[in-house]
Structure 1
Amino acid sequence: MKNVLTGLILLFAMNASAQDLNKTIEDPNRHKQVMLNLCTREAITSFAEFKASYDPNYAAYKPDSTAFTELSKLLKGKNVTIVLGTWCGDSKYQVPHFLKIMDALKVDENRITFIGVDGAKHAENGLIDSLKITNVPTFIFNDKKGKEVARITERPTETLEKDMLKVLAVKPKKTEAKSK
């Protein structure tokens, strides 16, 4: 009986979380449909409002392949969370470029998480509360333990490739022992 109850609870939990995946809502701030919460790449890139910009921006972008060797090393063992607005001009422009770079580097898509936000830059159930999102898109790079190691917010200072090289190459400061 205990196994049946556990199975039912797991089935309910999986069904509940699956319902939130690729959720669309009528955004009260934008008065249009937007994607919210966890999303798949396929859903985002096929969402009509986003797709219209995604396809031409992805096709036109020419990544700087001279950065690829170093970027491959710096991305090793890292996961990326992309917080974006399907309504946002910067997201429509930068996310296709970022994904073209990730595709060229052959980054496993399982290492990239997509979170859609509404016009107030919120998601449901506290999904992004700890991420301190001020602008979208925000590309957050996490180590194997899930600790944030770098981020790029809204748009790059130079190019996505150059900015990734800069932010990912920064070494965390080591605490030095004080001598007596």
Structure 2
Amino acid sequence: MQSTHITVIAMFIFVITACTPKMTSQASQPENVEATDKKGNLILLGKSTRQRLAQPPFDTWFNKNYSDYTIDSITAIQIKPLLQNKQFVLFMGTWCGDSRREVPRMYRILDHCGVKPSQVQLVNLSNSDTAYKQSPGHEERGLNIRRVPTLLIYENRQEVGRVVESPVVTLEKDILAIVTKQPYEHRYKHLMAAQPVNKADSTRSQQTNRQ
């Protein structure tokens, strides 16, 4: 009888524990946070969705640059199967002219190649004097993000390469070089390497997938 009581009590404790939600140590960052910059323009900050870029006031440049871009279909055929096991982290600024031009094109290529939305994390950075090129959640920390847009490409949680600000050749050919492990250096590699980065940042850049 005593054994039966112990078993019942143990099962009761298990059920209560299993049904109790676990508290996280830190609340997740909200998406599509809006702010006004020093020029009075609406900007996005932190983790954002591609769908928000297609809505006012960002749609005026996002939708146009997306639809106007002509994909290099021959190169896209080569990279399409190589992107299915990749993860992407895209840092941009809605206030940045290079981001407004290149980010819609990047999405056009990823869409054409069948990359799933779950494979891409979009992070918007600030242009304020006190938090320049930073996100409220500091997703950029340790990743040596000096210019936007920066597209990080990961495989098995390891960064395999990045496109910084604008392509060296074309977006398609730059991505092909990265995912096929050809020699490739983005436009600012030497400049960024010359700038000091602490050891923790360097390690995180190589090992952390910020999905």
Residues in 1 aligned to 2:122 and 2:56: alpha-carbon distance in whole angstroms: 13
8 Å Cα contact 1:139/1:152 also seen in 2: yes
AA in 2 matched with 1:125: G
2:162 is equivalent to residue 124 of structure 1: no
The list of structure 1 runs, each at least 4 consecutive aligned residues, that deviate by more than 3 angstroms after superposition, is: 1-6
Q: How far did 1:167 drift? A: 2.0
Q: Given the alignment, which residue of 59, 72, 86 partners 2:80?
A: 72
Structure of higher RCO (CA pairs closer than 8 Å, 6+ residues apart): 1
Q: Given the alignment, which residue of 135, 142, 145 partners 2:154?
A: 142
- The equivalent residue for 1:24 is 34
Residues in 2 aligned to 1:132 and 1:47: alpha-carbon distance in whole angstroms: 31
TM-score by length of 2: 0.70
C-alpha spacing 1:122/1:3, structure 2 compared with 1 (3 Å): same
2:156 is equivalent to residue 133 of structure 1: no
Q: Secondary structure at the match of 1:118?
A: coil
Larger relative helix fraction: 1
Residues in 2 aligned to 1:58 and 1:6: alpha-carbon distance in whole angstroms: 46
Q: How far did 1:109 drift? A: 1.1
Q: How far did 1:155 drift? A: 0.4
- The equivalent residue for 1:105 is 113
Unmatched tracts of structure 2, length 5 or more = 1-12, 184-211
State which structure, 1 or 2, has the greater radius of gyration over its C-alpha atoms.
Answer: 2
C-alpha spacing 1:47/1:130, structure 2 compared with 1 (3 Å): farther
Task: Give the total of aligned pairs.
Answer: 165
Residues in 2 aligned to 1:76 and 1:108: alpha-carbon distance in whole angstroms: 8
8 Å Cα contact 1:21/1:38 also seen in 2: yes
2:122 is equivalent to residue 114 of structure 1: yes
2:61 is equivalent to residue 53 of structure 1: yes
Residues in 1 aligned to 2:98 and 2:133: alpha-carbon distance in whole angstroms: 13
TM-score by length of 1: 0.81
Q: Secondary structure at the match of 1:130?
A: coil
**Cα RMSD for the two superposed structures:** 2.4
8 Å Cα contact 1:35/1:44 also seen in 2: no
Residues in 2 aligned to 1:47 and 1:115: alpha-carbon distance in whole angstroms: 18
Q: How far did 1:136 drift? A: 0.5
C-alpha spacing 1:171/1:159, structure 2 compared with 1 (3 Å): closer
